A and B are shown apart, each in its own frame.
Chain A
Amino acid sequence: MIYKKLPQWFLLILPAIIILAAVILIPLLFSLYSSFTSYRLTRPDTLFNWIGTFNYEKAVKSGVFWAAFGRTILFLTIALNLEMFLGLGLALLVSRVTRGQRMLRTIMMFPMMFSPVLVGFQFKFIFNDNVGLVNNALQSLGLSNSAIPWLVDEKLAMFSIIFAEVWMSTSVFAILILAGLFSIPQDPQEAAKVDGCTPWQSFRHITLPFIMPFIFIAMAIRSLDVARAYDIVQVMTNGGPARRTEILWTLIGRTGYVDAKMGYANAMGYVSIFLAIFFTIYFFKKLNAARVELGMAR
Protein backbone atom coordinates (compact mmCIF):
# COMPACT_ATOMS: atom_id res chain seq x y z
CA MET A 1 0.00 0.00 0.00
CA ILE A 2 2.84 2.31 -0.77
CA TYR A 3 0.80 4.45 -3.08
CA LYS A 4 -1.37 5.63 -0.22
CA LYS A 5 1.62 7.34 1.29
CA LEU A 6 2.38 9.30 -1.86
CA PRO A 7 0.70 12.67 -2.15
CA GLN A 8 -2.28 12.78 -4.45
CA TRP A 9 -0.84 15.44 -6.75
CA PHE A 10 2.16 13.22 -7.38
CA LEU A 11 -0.01 10.28 -8.36
CA LEU A 12 -1.89 12.51 -10.75
CA ILE A 13 1.17 13.77 -12.61
CA LEU A 14 2.94 10.43 -12.42
CA PRO A 15 1.56 9.05 -15.73
CA ALA A 16 2.74 12.16 -17.54
CA ILE A 17 6.18 11.93 -15.96
CA ILE A 18 6.54 8.22 -16.73
CA ILE A 19 5.59 8.62 -20.37
CA LEU A 20 7.79 11.64 -20.91
CA ALA A 21 10.71 9.95 -19.18
CA ALA A 22 10.33 6.84 -21.30
CA VAL A 23 9.87 8.55 -24.63
CA ILE A 24 11.93 11.72 -24.29
CA LEU A 25 14.31 11.53 -21.37
CA ILE A 26 15.86 8.09 -21.89
CA PRO A 27 16.57 8.67 -25.58
CA LEU A 28 17.98 12.09 -24.72
CA LEU A 29 20.36 10.60 -22.18
CA PHE A 30 21.43 8.09 -24.78
CA SER A 31 22.09 10.81 -27.32
CA LEU A 32 23.89 12.90 -24.69
CA TYR A 33 26.20 9.98 -24.07
CA SER A 34 26.73 9.30 -27.75
CA SER A 35 27.63 12.93 -28.37
CA PHE A 36 30.85 12.22 -26.45
CA THR A 37 31.73 9.26 -28.65
CA SER A 38 32.76 8.86 -32.26
CA TYR A 39 29.54 6.96 -32.87
CA ARG A 40 28.99 5.96 -36.50
CA LEU A 41 25.72 4.33 -37.38
CA THR A 42 27.34 1.80 -39.66
CA ARG A 43 29.88 0.72 -37.04
CA PRO A 44 27.95 -0.04 -33.85
CA ASP A 45 31.12 -0.74 -31.85
CA THR A 46 32.18 2.92 -32.16
CA LEU A 47 29.48 3.69 -29.58
CA PHE A 48 32.01 2.78 -26.92
CA ASN A 49 34.77 4.90 -28.34
CA TRP A 50 34.82 7.79 -25.86
CA ILE A 51 36.34 10.92 -27.40
CA GLY A 52 35.42 13.50 -24.78
CA THR A 53 34.25 16.87 -26.02
CA PHE A 54 35.78 16.43 -29.47
CA ASN A 55 32.42 16.63 -31.25
CA TYR A 56 31.46 19.80 -29.43
CA GLU A 57 34.83 21.39 -30.14
CA LYS A 58 34.44 20.44 -33.77
CA ALA A 59 30.98 21.99 -33.93
CA VAL A 60 32.10 25.18 -32.22
CA LYS A 61 35.00 25.51 -34.62
CA SER A 62 32.95 24.74 -37.70
CA GLY A 63 31.95 27.65 -39.91
CA VAL A 64 29.22 25.56 -41.51
CA PHE A 65 27.69 24.92 -38.12
CA TRP A 66 27.65 28.57 -37.07
CA ALA A 67 26.26 29.65 -40.41
CA ALA A 68 23.42 27.16 -39.95
CA PHE A 69 22.97 28.31 -36.37
CA GLY A 70 22.68 31.94 -37.38
CA ARG A 71 20.35 31.08 -40.23
CA THR A 72 18.12 29.09 -37.87
CA ILE A 73 17.79 32.06 -35.52
CA LEU A 74 17.09 34.33 -38.48
CA PHE A 75 14.53 31.87 -39.81
CA LEU A 76 12.81 31.54 -36.42
CA THR A 77 12.77 35.26 -35.73
CA ILE A 78 11.42 36.26 -39.11
CA ALA A 79 8.92 33.43 -39.32
CA LEU A 80 7.55 33.79 -35.80
CA ASN A 81 7.19 37.57 -36.05
CA LEU A 82 5.59 37.44 -39.46
CA GLU A 83 3.19 34.76 -38.27
CA MET A 84 2.29 36.92 -35.30
CA PHE A 85 1.57 40.07 -37.31
CA LEU A 86 -0.26 38.26 -40.06
CA GLY A 87 -2.16 36.21 -37.50
CA LEU A 88 -3.17 39.37 -35.68
CA GLY A 89 -4.31 40.97 -38.91
CA LEU A 90 -6.22 37.88 -39.96
CA ALA A 91 -7.92 37.59 -36.57
CA LEU A 92 -8.95 41.25 -36.67
CA LEU A 93 -10.33 40.85 -40.18
CA VAL A 94 -12.32 37.77 -39.30
CA SER A 95 -13.60 39.12 -35.99
CA ARG A 96 -15.27 42.06 -37.78
CA VAL A 97 -17.28 39.76 -40.00
CA THR A 98 -20.82 39.27 -38.86
CA ARG A 99 -22.20 36.74 -41.34
CA GLY A 100 -20.60 33.43 -42.30
CA GLN A 101 -17.99 33.64 -39.62
CA ARG A 102 -18.07 29.93 -38.88
CA MET A 103 -17.17 29.22 -42.48
CA LEU A 104 -14.41 31.80 -42.46
CA ARG A 105 -12.94 30.41 -39.27
CA THR A 106 -12.78 26.95 -40.79
CA ILE A 107 -11.11 28.31 -43.90
CA MET A 108 -8.72 30.22 -41.70
CA MET A 109 -7.70 26.97 -40.05
CA PHE A 110 -7.31 25.18 -43.37
CA PRO A 111 -3.48 25.18 -43.41
CA MET A 112 -3.34 23.67 -39.93
CA MET A 113 -4.69 20.49 -41.44
CA PHE A 114 -1.76 20.08 -43.78
CA SER A 115 1.02 17.77 -42.76
CA PRO A 116 4.34 19.66 -42.80
CA VAL A 117 5.81 17.13 -45.21
CA LEU A 118 2.90 17.77 -47.56
CA VAL A 119 3.39 21.53 -47.24
CA GLY A 120 7.00 20.95 -48.26
CA PHE A 121 6.09 19.03 -51.42
CA GLN A 122 3.35 21.51 -52.23
CA PHE A 123 5.58 24.58 -52.11
CA LYS A 124 8.52 22.83 -53.69
CA PHE A 125 6.31 22.45 -56.67
CA ILE A 126 4.63 25.83 -56.49
CA PHE A 127 8.05 27.51 -56.45
CA ASN A 128 9.58 25.27 -59.13
CA ASP A 129 11.41 27.55 -61.55
CA ASN A 130 10.35 25.73 -64.72
CA VAL A 131 6.79 24.46 -64.28
CA GLY A 132 5.86 25.96 -60.89
CA LEU A 133 2.57 27.69 -60.26
CA VAL A 134 4.13 31.03 -59.29
CA ASN A 135 6.39 31.36 -62.31
CA ASN A 136 3.66 30.14 -64.63
CA ALA A 137 1.28 32.72 -63.25
CA LEU A 138 3.82 35.54 -63.47
CA GLN A 139 4.74 34.60 -67.02
CA SER A 140 1.13 34.19 -68.15
CA LEU A 141 0.21 37.56 -66.67
CA GLY A 142 3.19 39.10 -68.41
CA LEU A 143 4.74 40.26 -65.14
CA SER A 144 7.94 38.37 -65.77
CA ASN A 145 9.59 36.87 -68.78
CA SER A 146 12.28 34.87 -67.07
CA ALA A 147 12.25 31.72 -64.98
CA ILE A 148 12.73 33.10 -61.48
CA PRO A 149 14.85 30.58 -59.53
CA TRP A 150 12.79 30.72 -56.33
CA LEU A 151 14.54 27.83 -54.65
CA VAL A 152 18.05 28.74 -55.78
CA ASP A 153 18.60 32.48 -55.40
CA GLU A 154 20.06 33.29 -52.00
CA LYS A 155 17.31 35.60 -50.78
CA LEU A 156 14.42 34.04 -52.67
CA ALA A 157 15.20 30.57 -51.34
CA MET A 158 15.00 31.76 -47.74
CA PHE A 159 11.89 33.71 -48.67
CA SER A 160 10.30 30.60 -50.16
CA ILE A 161 10.84 28.38 -47.15
CA ILE A 162 9.74 31.14 -44.79
CA PHE A 163 6.64 31.65 -46.93
CA ALA A 164 5.78 27.96 -46.68
CA GLU A 165 6.31 27.94 -42.93
CA VAL A 166 4.28 31.14 -42.46
CA TRP A 167 1.52 29.81 -44.67
CA MET A 168 1.27 26.68 -42.55
CA SER A 169 1.47 28.24 -39.10
CA THR A 170 -0.17 31.64 -39.22
CA SER A 171 -3.48 29.90 -38.49
CA VAL A 172 -2.31 28.93 -35.02
CA PHE A 173 -1.69 32.57 -34.18
CA ALA A 174 -4.89 33.69 -35.82
CA ILE A 175 -7.06 31.22 -33.96
CA LEU A 176 -5.51 31.99 -30.58
CA ILE A 177 -5.65 35.74 -31.11
CA LEU A 178 -9.24 35.43 -32.31
CA ALA A 179 -10.04 33.66 -29.08
CA GLY A 180 -8.40 36.54 -27.28
CA LEU A 181 -10.47 39.09 -29.19
CA PHE A 182 -13.65 37.32 -28.14
CA SER A 183 -12.64 37.41 -24.50
CA ILE A 184 -12.40 41.21 -24.41
CA PRO A 185 -15.21 42.74 -22.38
CA GLN A 186 -17.29 45.18 -24.43
CA ASP A 187 -17.67 47.96 -21.84
CA PRO A 188 -14.22 49.55 -22.02
CA GLN A 189 -14.48 49.75 -25.79
CA GLU A 190 -17.87 51.36 -25.68
CA ALA A 191 -16.55 53.81 -23.12
CA ALA A 192 -13.57 54.57 -25.32
CA LYS A 193 -15.85 55.29 -28.25
CA VAL A 194 -17.93 57.66 -26.18
CA ASP A 195 -14.76 59.40 -25.00
CA GLY A 196 -13.88 60.01 -28.63
CA CYS A 197 -10.88 57.72 -28.90
CA THR A 198 -9.71 56.96 -32.42
CA PRO A 199 -9.91 53.29 -33.46
CA TRP A 200 -6.13 53.13 -33.28
CA GLN A 201 -6.10 54.49 -29.72
CA SER A 202 -8.70 52.05 -28.52
CA PHE A 203 -6.85 49.20 -30.23
CA ARG A 204 -3.54 50.28 -28.75
CA HIS A 205 -4.74 50.85 -25.18
CA ILE A 206 -7.61 48.41 -24.74
CA THR A 207 -7.52 45.59 -27.27
CA LEU A 208 -3.79 45.01 -27.45
CA PRO A 209 -3.09 44.62 -23.71
CA PHE A 210 -5.94 42.14 -23.56
CA ILE A 211 -4.72 39.95 -26.37
CA MET A 212 -1.05 40.21 -25.46
CA PRO A 213 -1.12 37.07 -23.28
CA PHE A 214 -2.74 35.20 -26.16
CA ILE A 215 0.01 36.35 -28.46
CA PHE A 216 2.67 35.12 -26.08
CA ILE A 217 0.88 31.82 -25.63
CA ALA A 218 0.85 31.40 -29.36
CA MET A 219 4.53 32.34 -29.47
CA ALA A 220 5.33 29.80 -26.77
CA ILE A 221 3.34 27.06 -28.51
CA ARG A 222 4.93 27.80 -31.84
CA SER A 223 8.44 27.99 -30.50
CA LEU A 224 7.81 24.65 -28.80
CA ASP A 225 7.08 22.86 -32.03
CA VAL A 226 8.72 25.10 -34.58
CA ALA A 227 11.13 22.28 -35.35
CA ARG A 228 8.31 20.80 -37.39
CA ALA A 229 9.55 23.17 -40.07
CA TYR A 230 12.32 20.62 -40.59
CA ASP A 231 9.97 18.54 -42.72
CA ILE A 232 9.25 21.52 -44.93
CA VAL A 233 12.83 22.60 -45.44
CA GLN A 234 14.05 19.05 -45.90
CA VAL A 235 11.64 18.46 -48.73
CA MET A 236 11.89 21.88 -50.36
CA THR A 237 15.63 22.52 -50.48
CA ASN A 238 17.27 20.14 -48.00
CA GLY A 239 19.53 23.03 -47.01
CA GLY A 240 20.77 23.72 -50.51
CA PRO A 241 21.89 24.94 -52.88
CA ALA A 242 25.40 25.73 -51.66
CA ARG A 243 24.08 25.63 -48.05
CA ARG A 244 22.08 28.79 -48.68
CA THR A 245 19.11 27.47 -46.75
CA GLU A 246 20.98 25.18 -44.39
CA ILE A 247 19.41 25.33 -40.96
CA LEU A 248 20.46 23.34 -37.90
CA TRP A 249 17.90 20.59 -38.38
CA THR A 250 18.80 19.81 -41.98
CA LEU A 251 22.47 19.85 -41.08
CA ILE A 252 21.87 17.47 -38.18
CA GLY A 253 19.65 15.19 -40.23
CA ARG A 254 22.19 14.86 -43.03
CA THR A 255 25.18 14.46 -40.72
CA GLY A 256 23.40 11.83 -38.66
CA TYR A 257 21.64 9.71 -41.20
CA VAL A 258 23.37 10.19 -44.53
CA ASP A 259 26.92 10.63 -43.26
CA ALA A 260 26.13 8.23 -40.41
CA LYS A 261 28.06 10.44 -37.96
CA MET A 262 25.56 10.20 -35.12
CA GLY A 263 27.92 11.29 -32.37
CA TYR A 264 28.64 14.56 -34.08
CA ALA A 265 25.00 14.99 -35.09
CA ASN A 266 23.86 14.52 -31.50
CA ALA A 267 26.36 17.10 -30.28
CA MET A 268 24.88 19.61 -32.71
CA GLY A 269 21.42 18.37 -31.74
CA TYR A 270 22.04 19.41 -28.16
CA VAL A 271 22.85 22.91 -29.26
CA SER A 272 19.57 23.08 -31.15
CA ILE A 273 17.70 21.76 -28.12
CA PHE A 274 19.13 24.56 -26.00
CA LEU A 275 18.13 27.01 -28.69
CA ALA A 276 14.53 25.79 -28.60
CA ILE A 277 14.51 25.87 -24.81
CA PHE A 278 15.84 29.42 -24.81
CA PHE A 279 13.13 30.62 -27.18
CA THR A 280 10.41 28.91 -25.16
CA ILE A 281 11.53 30.20 -21.79
CA TYR A 282 11.86 33.67 -23.24
CA PHE A 283 8.23 33.72 -24.36
CA PHE A 284 7.17 32.11 -21.14
CA LYS A 285 8.66 34.94 -19.14
CA LYS A 286 6.93 37.42 -21.44
CA LEU A 287 3.67 35.54 -20.99
CA ASN A 288 3.89 35.66 -17.22
CA ALA A 289 4.77 39.34 -17.31
CA ALA A 290 1.72 40.03 -19.46
CA ARG A 291 -0.44 38.02 -17.10
CA VAL A 292 0.81 40.02 -14.15
CA GLU A 293 -0.03 43.22 -15.98
CA LEU A 294 -3.61 42.04 -16.40
CA GLY A 295 -3.81 40.80 -12.83
CA MET A 296 -4.05 37.17 -13.85
CA ALA A 297 -0.83 35.99 -12.25
CA ARG A 298 -0.77 32.41 -11.23
Chain B
Amino acid sequence: MNINRLSKLKSFFLKVSHHVTLFIAMSIICIPGLWIVLNSFRPTVDIMAKPPVWVPRGLNLDNYRAMFGGAGEGGVPVMQYFTNSLIISCTSTIIALFVGMAGGYAFARFRFKGKNAIFVGLLLTRAVPGVALSLPLFIVMAKTGIIDTHFGLILVYVAMNVPFTIWLIDGFFRQIPPDLAEAAEIDGCTRWQAFWKVEFPVAKAGVASAGIFAFLTSWNEYALASQLTRSTFSKTMPVGLRDFTSEFTINWGGMCALAVLLIIPALILTFIVQKHLISGLTFGGVKG
Protein backbone atom coordinates (compact mmCIF):
# COMPACT_ATOMS: atom_id res chain seq x y z
CA MET B 1 0.00 0.00 0.00
CA ASN B 2 2.68 2.40 1.08
CA ILE B 3 4.85 1.43 -1.85
CA ASN B 4 1.91 1.81 -4.15
CA ARG B 5 1.25 5.31 -2.91
CA LEU B 6 4.90 6.21 -3.21
CA SER B 7 5.09 5.09 -6.81
CA LYS B 8 1.89 6.95 -7.58
CA LEU B 9 3.34 10.06 -6.04
CA LYS B 10 6.52 9.52 -7.98
CA SER B 11 4.76 9.17 -11.28
CA PHE B 12 2.68 12.24 -10.48
CA PHE B 13 5.83 14.27 -9.87
CA LEU B 14 7.41 12.91 -13.01
CA LYS B 15 4.37 13.94 -14.97
CA VAL B 16 4.32 17.43 -13.50
CA SER B 17 8.03 17.97 -14.04
CA HIS B 18 7.66 16.68 -17.59
CA HIS B 19 4.96 19.22 -18.30
CA VAL B 20 6.83 22.03 -16.62
CA THR B 21 10.03 21.32 -18.56
CA LEU B 22 8.06 21.04 -21.76
CA PHE B 23 6.38 24.35 -21.06
CA ILE B 24 9.67 26.10 -20.37
CA ALA B 25 11.27 24.63 -23.49
CA MET B 26 8.36 25.67 -25.68
CA SER B 27 8.40 29.16 -24.16
CA ILE B 28 12.06 29.65 -25.00
CA ILE B 29 11.30 28.53 -28.53
CA CYS B 30 8.25 30.74 -28.92
CA ILE B 31 9.00 33.97 -27.09
CA PRO B 32 11.65 35.44 -29.42
CA GLY B 33 9.41 34.68 -32.38
CA LEU B 34 6.18 35.92 -30.84
CA TRP B 35 7.98 39.02 -29.70
CA ILE B 36 8.62 39.84 -33.37
CA VAL B 37 4.94 39.31 -34.14
CA LEU B 38 3.91 41.54 -31.24
CA ASN B 39 6.33 44.30 -32.23
CA SER B 40 4.94 44.37 -35.73
CA PHE B 41 1.76 45.81 -34.22
CA ARG B 42 3.45 48.37 -31.99
CA PRO B 43 4.71 51.86 -32.67
CA THR B 44 8.50 52.11 -32.75
CA VAL B 45 8.47 54.51 -29.78
CA ASP B 46 6.98 51.74 -27.63
CA ILE B 47 9.43 49.14 -28.90
CA MET B 48 12.36 51.35 -27.98
CA ALA B 49 10.86 52.64 -24.77
CA LYS B 50 12.96 52.94 -21.65
CA PRO B 51 11.63 52.08 -19.07
CA PRO B 52 10.04 49.23 -21.02
CA VAL B 53 6.35 49.04 -21.79
CA TRP B 54 5.32 45.54 -20.75
CA VAL B 55 1.59 45.66 -21.21
CA PRO B 56 1.07 46.20 -24.93
CA ARG B 57 -0.83 49.37 -25.66
CA GLY B 58 -1.89 51.14 -28.77
CA LEU B 59 -1.63 48.06 -30.95
CA ASN B 60 -2.33 48.99 -34.55
CA LEU B 61 -1.71 48.07 -38.14
CA ASP B 62 0.36 51.17 -38.91
CA ASN B 63 3.50 49.24 -39.73
CA TYR B 64 1.64 47.08 -42.21
CA ARG B 65 -0.15 50.05 -43.68
CA ALA B 66 3.15 51.90 -44.10
CA MET B 67 4.81 48.89 -45.65
CA PHE B 68 2.17 48.56 -48.30
CA GLY B 69 2.08 52.31 -48.76
CA GLY B 70 3.87 54.50 -51.27
CA ALA B 71 7.55 55.32 -51.48
CA GLY B 72 7.33 58.43 -49.35
CA GLU B 73 5.48 56.71 -46.50
CA GLY B 74 8.11 54.09 -45.84
CA GLY B 75 6.54 51.63 -48.24
CA VAL B 76 8.53 48.79 -49.73
CA PRO B 77 7.50 46.71 -52.74
CA VAL B 78 6.38 43.85 -50.52
CA MET B 79 4.14 42.15 -53.01
CA GLN B 80 6.90 42.14 -55.57
CA TYR B 81 9.33 40.62 -53.06
CA PHE B 82 6.76 38.10 -51.98
CA THR B 83 6.09 37.02 -55.55
CA ASN B 84 9.80 36.81 -56.28
CA SER B 85 10.39 34.69 -53.20
CA LEU B 86 7.49 32.43 -54.01
CA ILE B 87 8.49 31.90 -57.65
CA ILE B 88 12.14 31.35 -56.82
CA SER B 89 11.58 29.03 -53.86
CA CYS B 90 8.88 26.89 -55.43
CA THR B 91 10.57 26.48 -58.78
CA SER B 92 13.94 25.68 -57.30
CA THR B 93 12.40 23.20 -54.86
CA ILE B 94 10.57 21.35 -57.62
CA ILE B 95 13.63 21.22 -59.87
CA ALA B 96 15.82 20.14 -56.98
CA LEU B 97 13.37 17.34 -56.20
CA PHE B 98 13.42 16.04 -59.78
CA VAL B 99 17.17 16.25 -60.08
CA GLY B 100 17.46 14.71 -56.63
CA MET B 101 15.08 11.88 -57.46
CA ALA B 102 17.03 11.02 -60.59
CA GLY B 103 20.29 11.13 -58.69
CA GLY B 104 18.97 9.34 -55.63
CA TYR B 105 17.52 6.59 -57.78
CA ALA B 106 20.83 6.14 -59.57
CA PHE B 107 22.72 5.83 -56.30
CA ALA B 108 20.19 3.44 -54.81
CA ARG B 109 19.64 1.13 -57.74
CA PHE B 110 22.85 0.99 -59.74
CA ARG B 111 26.29 -0.31 -58.95
CA PHE B 112 29.16 1.56 -60.49
CA LYS B 113 32.77 2.36 -59.87
CA GLY B 114 33.58 5.24 -57.55
CA LYS B 115 30.00 5.44 -56.33
CA ASN B 116 30.87 6.39 -52.79
CA ALA B 117 33.42 8.94 -53.88
CA ILE B 118 30.98 10.64 -56.24
CA PHE B 119 28.30 10.57 -53.56
CA VAL B 120 30.46 12.23 -50.93
CA GLY B 121 31.82 14.63 -53.55
CA LEU B 122 28.31 15.79 -54.41
CA LEU B 123 27.44 16.23 -50.76
CA LEU B 124 30.52 18.26 -50.00
CA THR B 125 29.57 20.92 -52.51
CA ARG B 126 27.01 21.94 -49.91
CA ALA B 127 29.78 22.61 -47.41
CA VAL B 128 31.10 25.63 -49.31
CA PRO B 129 30.22 28.72 -47.24
CA GLY B 130 28.06 31.22 -49.08
CA VAL B 131 30.36 34.09 -48.25
CA ALA B 132 33.27 32.36 -50.01
CA LEU B 133 31.11 31.57 -53.00
CA SER B 134 29.18 34.78 -53.46
CA LEU B 135 31.71 36.91 -55.31
CA PRO B 136 33.03 34.37 -57.84
CA LEU B 137 29.46 33.34 -58.47
CA PHE B 138 28.49 36.94 -58.94
CA ILE B 139 31.24 37.47 -61.50
CA VAL B 140 30.35 34.33 -63.45
CA MET B 141 26.69 35.34 -63.48
CA ALA B 142 27.42 38.90 -64.46
CA LYS B 143 29.49 37.69 -67.40
CA THR B 144 26.69 35.39 -68.55
CA GLY B 145 24.04 38.03 -67.99
CA ILE B 146 21.87 36.12 -65.52
CA ILE B 147 22.55 38.45 -62.63
CA ASP B 148 19.43 39.98 -61.09
CA THR B 149 17.09 37.41 -62.68
CA HIS B 150 14.82 34.79 -61.18
CA PHE B 151 16.60 32.19 -63.27
CA GLY B 152 20.00 32.91 -61.73
CA LEU B 153 18.79 32.56 -58.18
CA ILE B 154 16.75 29.45 -59.00
CA LEU B 155 19.86 27.83 -60.44
CA VAL B 156 21.83 28.62 -57.30
CA TYR B 157 19.17 27.28 -54.97
CA VAL B 158 18.81 24.10 -57.00
CA ALA B 159 22.54 23.56 -56.61
CA MET B 160 22.30 24.28 -52.89
CA ASN B 161 19.52 21.78 -52.37
CA VAL B 162 20.43 18.96 -54.72
CA PRO B 163 23.07 17.29 -52.52
CA PHE B 164 20.80 16.97 -49.52
CA THR B 165 17.83 15.92 -51.67
CA ILE B 166 19.85 13.18 -53.33
CA TRP B 167 20.97 11.93 -49.96
CA LEU B 168 17.51 11.77 -48.41
CA ILE B 169 15.84 10.27 -51.47
CA ASP B 170 18.61 7.74 -51.96
CA GLY B 171 17.84 6.43 -48.48
CA PHE B 172 14.22 5.94 -49.42
CA PHE B 173 14.75 4.03 -52.59
CA ARG B 174 17.03 1.72 -50.64
CA GLN B 175 14.08 0.86 -48.41
CA ILE B 176 12.10 -0.43 -51.31
CA PRO B 177 13.03 -3.98 -52.24
CA PRO B 178 14.20 -4.09 -55.86
CA ASP B 179 11.97 -7.16 -56.39
CA LEU B 180 8.94 -4.92 -56.20
CA ALA B 181 9.87 -2.99 -59.32
CA GLU B 182 11.16 -6.09 -61.01
CA ALA B 183 7.83 -7.81 -60.45
CA ALA B 184 6.07 -4.89 -62.06
CA GLU B 185 8.42 -5.03 -65.01
CA ILE B 186 7.63 -8.70 -65.48
CA ASP B 187 3.96 -7.73 -65.50
CA GLY B 188 4.67 -5.72 -68.64
CA CYS B 189 5.49 -2.29 -67.27
CA THR B 190 8.48 -0.42 -68.60
CA ARG B 191 11.06 0.59 -66.07
CA TRP B 192 9.74 4.15 -66.26
CA GLN B 193 6.17 3.02 -65.54
CA ALA B 194 7.36 0.72 -62.79
CA PHE B 195 9.11 3.65 -61.16
CA TRP B 196 6.06 5.91 -61.07
CA LYS B 197 3.56 3.19 -60.23
CA VAL B 198 5.48 1.18 -57.65
CA GLU B 199 8.52 2.91 -56.29
CA PHE B 200 7.50 6.56 -56.25
CA PRO B 201 4.36 6.16 -54.10
CA VAL B 202 6.37 4.36 -51.44
CA ALA B 203 9.04 7.04 -51.43
CA LYS B 204 6.55 9.93 -51.39
CA ALA B 205 7.02 10.74 -47.72
CA GLY B 206 10.74 11.03 -48.25
CA VAL B 207 10.27 13.33 -51.20
CA ALA B 208 7.99 15.49 -49.09
CA SER B 209 10.53 15.82 -46.31
CA ALA B 210 13.30 16.60 -48.76
CA GLY B 211 10.97 19.15 -50.30
CA ILE B 212 10.27 21.00 -47.08
CA PHE B 213 13.95 21.25 -46.23
CA ALA B 214 14.71 22.52 -49.73
CA PHE B 215 11.88 25.03 -49.60
CA LEU B 216 12.85 26.42 -46.21
CA THR B 217 16.48 26.74 -47.30
CA SER B 218 15.62 28.73 -50.43
CA TRP B 219 12.88 30.74 -48.76
CA ASN B 220 15.20 31.96 -46.00
CA GLU B 221 18.53 32.25 -47.81
CA TYR B 222 20.16 35.65 -47.53
CA ALA B 223 23.95 35.70 -48.06
CA LEU B 224 23.83 34.76 -51.75
CA ALA B 225 20.56 36.46 -52.57
CA SER B 226 21.83 39.77 -51.25
CA GLN B 227 24.72 39.55 -53.67
CA LEU B 228 22.95 38.15 -56.73
CA THR B 229 19.83 40.31 -56.69
CA ARG B 230 19.92 43.98 -57.45
CA SER B 231 16.54 45.46 -58.15
CA THR B 232 12.99 44.85 -57.06
CA PHE B 233 12.73 42.62 -60.10
CA SER B 234 14.46 39.76 -58.31
CA LYS B 235 14.92 40.74 -54.67
CA THR B 236 13.58 38.19 -52.22
CA MET B 237 11.93 38.75 -48.84
CA PRO B 238 15.00 38.20 -46.62
CA VAL B 239 16.90 40.74 -48.72
CA GLY B 240 13.90 43.04 -48.41
CA LEU B 241 14.40 43.11 -44.64
CA ARG B 242 17.42 45.30 -45.29
CA ASP B 243 15.16 47.95 -46.82
CA PHE B 244 14.25 48.90 -43.28
CA THR B 245 17.81 49.72 -42.35
CA SER B 246 18.79 53.05 -43.77
CA GLU B 247 21.92 55.09 -43.31
CA PHE B 248 21.24 56.07 -39.74
CA THR B 249 18.20 54.24 -38.49
CA ILE B 250 16.52 50.88 -38.29
CA ASN B 251 12.76 50.82 -38.59
CA TRP B 252 12.02 47.97 -36.20
CA GLY B 253 8.28 48.00 -36.50
CA GLY B 254 8.40 47.82 -40.28
CA MET B 255 11.00 45.12 -40.25
CA CYS B 256 8.91 43.02 -37.89
CA ALA B 257 5.88 43.42 -40.12
CA LEU B 258 7.82 42.12 -43.11
CA ALA B 259 9.21 39.32 -40.96
CA VAL B 260 5.70 38.19 -40.12
CA LEU B 261 4.87 38.00 -43.81
CA LEU B 262 8.06 36.03 -44.26
CA ILE B 263 7.19 33.48 -41.60
CA ILE B 264 3.52 32.84 -42.38
CA PRO B 265 3.91 30.84 -45.63
CA ALA B 266 6.66 28.73 -44.12
CA LEU B 267 4.51 28.09 -41.07
CA ILE B 268 1.50 27.02 -43.11
CA LEU B 269 3.56 24.74 -45.30
CA THR B 270 5.33 23.13 -42.38
CA PHE B 271 2.08 22.52 -40.56
CA ILE B 272 0.66 20.75 -43.60
CA VAL B 273 3.58 18.50 -44.32
CA GLN B 274 4.97 17.87 -40.85
CA LYS B 275 3.27 14.49 -40.57
CA HIS B 276 4.97 13.34 -43.75
CA LEU B 277 8.15 14.90 -42.51
CA ILE B 278 8.32 12.69 -39.44
CA SER B 279 7.34 9.51 -41.20
CA GLY B 280 9.57 10.47 -44.10
CA LEU B 281 12.60 10.95 -41.96
CA THR B 282 11.87 7.82 -39.97
CA PHE B 283 12.27 5.68 -43.04
CA GLY B 284 14.77 7.72 -44.90
CA GLY B 285 18.28 8.82 -44.35
CA VAL B 286 19.32 6.25 -41.82
CA LYS B 287 18.85 2.86 -43.16
CA GLY B 288 20.57 3.63 -46.44
Which A residues are within 8 Å of any B CB, using their own CB? Answer: 7-10, 12-13, 15-17, 19-20, 22-28, 30-31, 34, 41, 89-90, 93-94, 96-97, 102, 104-118, 121-123, 125-126, 130-131, 133, 136, 140, 167, 171, 175-176, 178-180, 182-183, 213-214, 217, 221, 223-225, 227-228, 230-231, 249, 252-253, 256-257, 262, 265-266, 269-270, 272-273, 276-277, 279-281, 284, 291, 296, 298
Contacts and interface: CB of A to CB of B under 8 A. Distances in A.
B159 A224 contact: no
B120 A281 contact: yes
Interface stretch (B59-67, B72-80, B180-188, B261-269): B261-269
18 contacts: A9-B112, A12-B102, A12-B106, A13-B106, A20-B125, A20-B162, A23-B159, A27-B137, A31-B133, A110-B30, A114-B263, A115-B241, A118-B262, A123-B32, A125-B252, A182-B282, A230-B223, A269-B131
A140 B52 contact: yes
A229 B282 CA distance: 27
A57 to B, nearest CB: 19
Nearest to B209: A179
Interface of B: 18, 21-22, 25-26, 28-30, 32-33, 35-36, 47-52, 54, 98-100, 102-103, 105-107, 109-110, 112, 118, 120, 122-133, 135-137, 139-140, 155-156, 158-159, 162-164, 166, 174, 216-217, 219-223, 237-238, 241-242, 250, 252, 255, 259, 262-263, 266-267, 270-271, 274-275, 277-283, 285-288
B48 A262 contact: no
Contacts of B135: 31, 41, 256-257, 262, 265-266
Contacts of B216: 112-113
B147 to A, nearest CB: 13
A183 B22 contact: no
Contact of A16 (B100, B136, B271): B100
B285 A225 contact: no
Nearest to A176: B281
Given A114-B263, A131-B49, A253 B131 contact: yes
B131 A115 contact: no
A155 to B, nearest CB: 20
Nearest to A108: B29
Nearest to A117: B222
B76 to A, nearest CB: 15
A180 B266 CA distance: 24
Given A30-B140, A121-B255, A12 B129 contact: no
B140 A26 contact: yes
B130 A16 contact: no
A281 B123 CA distance: 10
Chain B interface mostly: helix
Contacts of B288: 291, 296, 298
A125 B259 CA distance: 14
B103 A13 contact: yes
Nearest to B98: A15
Given A9-B112, A93-B21, A262-B135, A23 B52 contact: no
B137 A23 contact: yes
Contacts of A126: 32, 35
A27 B91 CA distance: 23
Contacts of B103: 12-13, 15-16
B282 A118 contact: no
Contacts of A93: 18, 21-22, 25
A45 B80 CA distance: 37
B52 A34 contact: no
A13 B22 CA distance: 44
Contacts of A167: 28-29, 32
A20 B131 contact: no
Nearest to B271: A106
A21 to B, nearest CB: 9
A264 to B, nearest CB: 12
A276 B159 CA distance: 17
Nearest to A12: B106
Contacts of B51: 136, 140
B162 A107 contact: no
Contacts of A16: 99-100, 102-103, 122, 162, 166
A115 B222 contact: yes
Contacts of B262: 115, 118
Given A8-B110, A175-B281, A183-B282, A227 B155 contact: no
Contacts of A256: 131, 135
A19 B155 contact: yes
A280 B123 contact: yes
Given A8-B110, A230-B130, A179 B162 contact: no
A122 B102 CA distance: 39
